[in-house]
Amino acid sequence: MNRRNFFKKSTQAGMACCAMLMSSKFVAAGSFSKMFVDEKIDPEKLNYCGYTCPEDCKFYIATVEGDDTKKKEAFDVWKLKERYGIEFDTKIAICWRCKNQEKPQGMVVSNCTVRACAIEKGFDSCIQCGELNSCEKDLWKRFPEFYKGVKKMQVKYKEQIA
């Protein structure tokens, strides 16, 4: 596997893991749409996919602390190697969150198709996109409940700005 393919596969795997972790937060909250019942939705405060990373994200904390052992633990918990055939590499196993333009992009961020699309279209979050309901990005296919929640959030957002 060449370096480019390695980075591509690594990023895809990391994105899948973050999305997997996101979905558990939504289930724990009862339903994604209930998370925003009394809150004004601000696309600038959301990730490009509509998610808000938890402050206690193990991957982020390990990156901030520069702790390779904790990065490896997160890598193993998310089963990146088993699911995607990716070996652990401290140089790409990083997460500075998807909107941080001042830090290097890790495997998850650099291969996020939702992020790339939102940036290309000039959006702070995909909830601003008129094509969200018909979007076929891989993230939505892998996490359909999350996708439904993002579309519900978009409806509420549109009501707020109308």
Domain ranges of the chain: 3-161
User: Can you tell me the distance from the alpha carbon of 64 to that of 156, in angstroms, rounded to the nearest whole number?
Assistant: 34
Are the C-beta atoms of residues 131 and 12 closer than 8 Å to each other? no
Contact 139, 113 (CB under 8 A): yes
Q: What is the pLDDT along the chain (162 residues), one digit of tens a residue?
A: 555 555 455 445 455 455 545 544 444 343 444 455 557 999 999 999 999 999 999 989 999 999 999 999 988 887 767 766 778 999 888 899 999 989 998 877 888 899 999 999 999 999 999 999 999 998 899 889 999 999 999 999 999 999
Which tokens is 89 given? 């590499």
Q: Which amino acid is at 150?
A: V
C-beta of residue 37 within 8 angstroms of C-beta of residue 121: no
